[in-house]
Amino acid sequence: MEMFNRLSRLALGAALLGTGITDVLAAEPTIRELAKERGRFIGTILNSEWFNDAIEPEFEQIHKTQFNVVVAENEMKFDATEPQENEFNFAKGDKMVEYAQANGIRVRGHALAWHSQVANWVNNYAGQKDKLLAVLKNHIENVVGHWKGKVAEWDVVNEAVNDEYNAGWRSTNSVWYEGIGAEFLDSAFVWAHAADPDAELCYNDYSLEWGLREGSKASFVVEQVKRWKQNNIPITCVGTQTHIEIAHETTPQNVRALAKALAELGVTLNITELDIGFPKGSAGQLGAADYAKQGHLYRQFMDVFLEEPNMGEFVIWGLTDAHSWLDDQQGKTEGLLYDKQYKPKPAYDSIMASLNAHPASEVKSPYPESVFDTPCSGNCGDSTIAIKLATTASNLSMHLSGRTLTITGAVTAKVELFDIQGRPVFSAKNEKGSVELQGVSEGLYVVRVHEGSRNLLQRIAIK
């Protein structure tokens, strides 16, 4: 109830100032709008559930509204794209690329040469250097070639450094390294560049956020990048995955130091898989102070990202705590920006606060302006502008009774709900003449009913 009163006061204040709620909505930008103004890309993965049409409608609505770079959680990996030798399956990747193009979103490709998620058939050639080189070359040529000009950046090699803290390549459990040796990395970059000379090409790994010091992964990678640059191997970026925990308070400044070291080599640093998890055992016991602490860490990463001129992409490994690899595979939980009900957490506000504290005039972009000319056939996530422009539709009306929204004048309309800051909170398709607004907390909202070119907008109060 307190929340409802607070929102009512906000809306009343806006009305008294002579602005309608649509202007309030229009005044609150999205993450992607602020990122674009700063020449940067901020995004999340599309979870595998999205590819399988097994995810809540809120997921896509928020995703395309808030973010301008996307990665497939599993669907562009080797086992997904070449499940049988020389038989390629691009269907799911194509689905994401089409979605990205329709919404003006940049695509990262993940991942070409990786010891994990390699199709089983590759192991038939274990230890056969020439055959493995041919297999990897054919894979890269086909995959990168298929999405030439559509995938802006590839993780060409993923996780090739070992975990021993002795500064070396991963030499066991890697069909590529064991069969080919370290030259598989150099070759992979050369083949990827040949297949798409305009694509950015990254080396991507975890634990790089643990800092530059003797024997560390980060120091080893910087040394390799130096060697690659000296030998004209076409690497343009490093990805620090950055799967961390709430206790890892020093890691943002380690990422800053890594960015600076790579800047000297003319290479971009991207945060590619960020999540900041709580120990799984703490689920259900977390309070405001915990989420504030998580927000503080997200804020520090975003500050570093915006302040370092050779950082370009900030990608979070998931959108909602309802769908995250942390719970299934990591013994961690709740590491993302939106909670399980798709409500933005303090971490979301922290990202916004950081963006607002770093005006566009002060943030340098590592990209030419043309990278933002991505074709966009949809509304490019700019729902707030769409709301402002289209507020009426003839013969279309709605009526709210309790939580039932009855719609007349449309057969199959799309119903979307936005909170007072313009953030999408609910979306459903009306096929029965009414929609139940379930899972929405009490408060003031704008509801948009949309059918074809007809849009009807109305303020509603849910009690």
**Residues identified as active-site:** 159, 273
C-alpha triplet 19, 24, 26: angle, nearest 5°: 115
- Residue 172's identity, in one-letter code, is T
Give me 137's structure tokens. 């070359």
Q: Could you tell me how many helices (H) and strands (E) the chain has, helices first? A: 16, 17
Q: How far is the CB of 194 from ligand 9MR (least distance, A)?
A: 24
β-pair partners for 270:
239
Compute CA 116 distance to the chain's CA centroid, rounded to the nearest angstrom.
21
How many other C-beta atoms lie within 10 A of the C-beta of residue 447?
Answer: 21
In the complex, residue closest to ligand 9MR by CB: 325
Which residue shows structure tokens 């020449």?
39
d(CA 43, CA 68): 6
Nearest CA among 93, 66, 67 for reference residue 80: 93
Spatial distance between the Cα atoms of 358 and 179, rounded to a whole number of angstroms: 48
Amino acid at 454: R
Rounded Cα distance between 83 and 87, Å, is 7
If we measure between CA atoms, which residue out of 304, 316, 296 comes closest to residue 249? 296
Residue type for 25, please?
L
10 Å Cβ neighbour count for 298? 28
Residue type, 40: R
What backbone torsions phi and psi does residue 36 show, to the nearest 5 degrees?
-60, -45
**Residue 14 in tokens:** 């806006």
Binding site for ligand 9MR (CB under 6 A): 48, 73-74, 116-117, 241, 273, 325
β 397-401/200-205 pair status: unpaired
Residue closer to ligand 9MR (CB basis): 241 or 350 = 241
Least Å distance, CB 427 to ligand 9MR, is: 24
Distance between CA atoms of residues 47 and 96, nearest Å: 11
Nearest to 280 by CA among 343, 346, 324, 345: 324
**What radius of gyration, in Å, describes the C-alpha atoms of the chain?**
23
